[in-house]
Amino acid sequence: MQRLEDDWGEVYHWPGIVMLKLELMSRGRREWAFWAIVTGVNKSDRKPGELVFTGLGWSYNGKPAKRRTRAVYSTPTTPAMRLRFQHHECATKVAYLRTIQDRSRRNSGIRLLKKDGRAAGQDLESLFLFADKNNLTFIGGSTRTVGAAGGWVQGGGHGILTNTYGLGSDRVLQFKVVTPDGRSRVANACQNQDLFWALRGGGGGTFGVVLEATSQVVPNPVGTVSLRWQLVPTPANIQAMFKIFVENSVRWSQEGWGGFLYPTTSLLANPRLNRTAAEASLKPLTDFLRGVPDGAGGSAGSGAQVQWSQYDSFLPLLSAIVTGSATTKPRNFAMSSRLIPQTAFSNATSLLAAMLQSYQTAGGSVAYYMTTPFSYQVPNTEQGKTSVTPAWRGAVWHAIASSSWGYDAGPDVAKQAYVRVNSAMNPLRAITPNSGAYHNEADVYEPNTSQSFWGSNYPALYAIKQKYDPDKLLDCWHCVGWQGKSTPIASCYF
């Protein structure tokens, strides 16, 4: 049995996934983790779409949910501390790296963390805590329980610091992966470059089972200055605030701002500007907020609350973004999205009208995330090549419409929610015909998905899919090379 490497951390229960042959538990645990994955692949008997590999289960569009399939799960583990990382088969060292091991976790799973990185079942919060403890910054999203090496990074991966430091797929240095032919491979800028490129934006659950991912961190704490505000969402207030967003967001992105623009509670943060420069940058917004009424006869300024903050590292900023404990139960949630390019801001009237129409159709449940890599300088090297849609690079906003429904609601109510978010995004689609959408947070009814999710990269991604998975063993809704609505996975969708 080929082993992926020789330094798997020792844990009490390997690998935290479905154990397909218990009689082989006598194998060395280093071999067992890899063997279980390979057996999972081989035991599928090459039936397309019959096998599902998933990390921590986060999915807005139900990709891990397939009827009559085998499911293989990974769970968190943190390997032993190690300094310096070098690409396999690369001549030069790329940044120093560590891994850590947490032996207190008895039911650990597939290895996942490196100081400039992670392992396949590790969640973002664990990486944030580890990085903070070591005076580093891991660039991730704002939802603590999302898996760091799964669909998040393989699909792109955005967060509040993306504007300055890039997408998750920009920062990944190496993957260790089992491809559908049962072979273990190391993919980086020096070997299996096509697979490396595909895994950096082509989407999770498509090209293989990632056992380990290694990503670059910022080698110091990243301090930020931030503005948080709450607004009473009267029609007049919403229109005025959206107008300010349209008139200023391109400049804000150029100046380093990232954040989340909602109709009510919003937050912007900047790792580049000091407090004085930040206040000057956001003056059009704060002037409006200081004078906005509450719509119920209150005085000027009664319709908003404003709070400036400064943070020395990422963790306290994360706490400001996400308050309360992590979600412990699944949510019934539909969403659609669109990447809004800089060119759309040249016609402010058209963009504002589309935003207001989207807001009304979605019943107010819209957001404009300034979490795009607009100001990030992509390296002109092999390491700089990713397969995310080119629309990410010129986008100022990642626009989202959402809808939810109760646990006791019937399927008709659920379908109405999906139809609603689809309709809510149509005005923004109409004014951005050459843009696209982020497939991790996309409409399940997204039109022309290959162009929308990957643009000009799709033909190459499809060719790589054919190379590594010619039998179409891995399949999911609207993924690269998906088998269409006639396959069993489509039965889970309305």
Same domain assignment for residues 145 and 100:
yes
Alpha helices in 134-234 (DSSP H): 151-155, 162-165, 168-171, 193-199
- Secondary structure (3-state) at 478: coil
Q: Tell the residue number behind the tokens 């951005």, with chain if given.
A: 432
pLDDT band at 92 (very low <50, low <70, confident <90, very high): low
Q: Express each pLDDT in 224-240 by its tens digit.
A: 999 999 999 999 999 99
Same domain assignment for residues 211 and 228:
no
Last residue of a domain, one of 292, 311, 330: 311
Report yes or no on 439 lying in a domain: no
According to the model, what pLDDT value does residue 223 have?
Answer: 97
Cβ neighbors of 325 (< 8 A, separation 6 or more) are none
Lowest mean pLDDT, pick from 23-37, 212-226, 467-481? 23-37
Mean pLDDT of 265-272: 97
Report yes or no on 132 lying in a domain: yes
Q: Tell the residue number behind the tokens 């998975």, with chain if given.
A: 469
Same domain assignment for residues 32 and 172:
yes
Question: How far apart (Å, rounded) are the C-alpha atoms in residues 427 and 354?
Answer: 5
According to the model, what pLDDT value does residue 473 have?
Answer: 84
Same domain assignment for residues 39 and 173:
yes
According to the model, what pLDDT value does residue 384 have?
Answer: 87
Report yes or no on 492 lying in a domain: no
According to the model, what pLDDT value does residue 16 have?
Answer: 32
Q: Is the pLDDT of residue 96 over 90?
A: no
Same domain assignment for residues 236 and 267:
yes
Same domain assignment for residues 199 and 64:
yes
Q: Is the pLDDT of residue 40 over 60?
A: no
Q: Is the pLDDT of residue 23 over 50?
A: no
The H or E element containing residue 32 is: helix 29-42
Report yes or no on 285 lying in a domain: yes
Same domain assignment for residues 180 and 268:
no
- The enclosing domain of 273 has a CATH number of 3.30.70
Same domain assignment for residues 56 and 195:
yes
According to the model, what pLDDT value does residue 89 have?
Answer: 61
DSSP 8-state secondary structure symbol assigned to residue 93:
B
Question: How far apart (Å, rounded) are the C-alpha atoms in residues 442 and 448?
Answer: 12
Same domain assignment for residues 192 and 231:
no
Same domain assignment for residues 197 and 132:
yes
Size of the chain in residues: 494
Domain holding 55, by residue range, is 22-215
Widest distance between CA atoms in the chain = 75
- The enclosing domain of 209 has a CATH number of 3.30.465.10
According to the model, what pLDDT value does residue 463 have?
Answer: 98
According to the model, what pLDDT value does residue 118 have?
Answer: 39
Mean pLDDT of 118-125: 63
Is residue 425 within 8 Å of residue 438, measured between CB atoms? Answer: no
From residue 17, alpha-carbon distances to 59, 205, 406, 477 in Å are: 19, 16, 31, 23
According to the model, what pLDDT value does residue 105 have?
Answer: 28
Burial of 390 (0-12, 13-18, 19+ CB in 10 A): middle
Same domain assignment for residues 66 and 168:
yes
Last residue of a domain, one of 186, 215, 244: 215
In a 13 Å sphere around the CA of 285, the CA atoms on its Cβ side amount to: 26
Choice between 1 and 201, residue whose per-residue pLDDT is larger? 201
According to the model, what pLDDT value does residue 437 have?
Answer: 98
Is residue 476 within 8 Å of residue 206, measured between CB atoms? Answer: yes
Tell me the pLDDT of the chain averaged across its residues. Answer: 80
Report yes or no on 43 lying in a domain: yes
Burial of 153 (0-12, 13-18, 19+ CB in 10 A): buried
Same domain assignment for residues 176 and 305:
no
Report the number of secondary-structure helices (H) and strands (E) in the chain: 14, 14
Last residue of a domain, one of 295, 311, 327: 311
Domain count, the chain: 2
Which among 257, 250, 274, 267 has a CA at the least distance from the CA of 306? 267
Q: Edge-to-edge strand order for the sheet containing 209-215? A: 111-112, 117-120, 209-215, 172-178, 184-188
- Alpha-carbon Rg of the chain, whole angstroms? 23
Report yes or no on 283 lying in a domain: yes
Report yes or no on 182 lying in a domain: yes
Report yes or no on 57 lying in a domain: yes
Which among 85, 71, 75, 88 has a CA at the least distance from the CA of 18? 71
The H or E element containing residue 467 is: helix 458-468
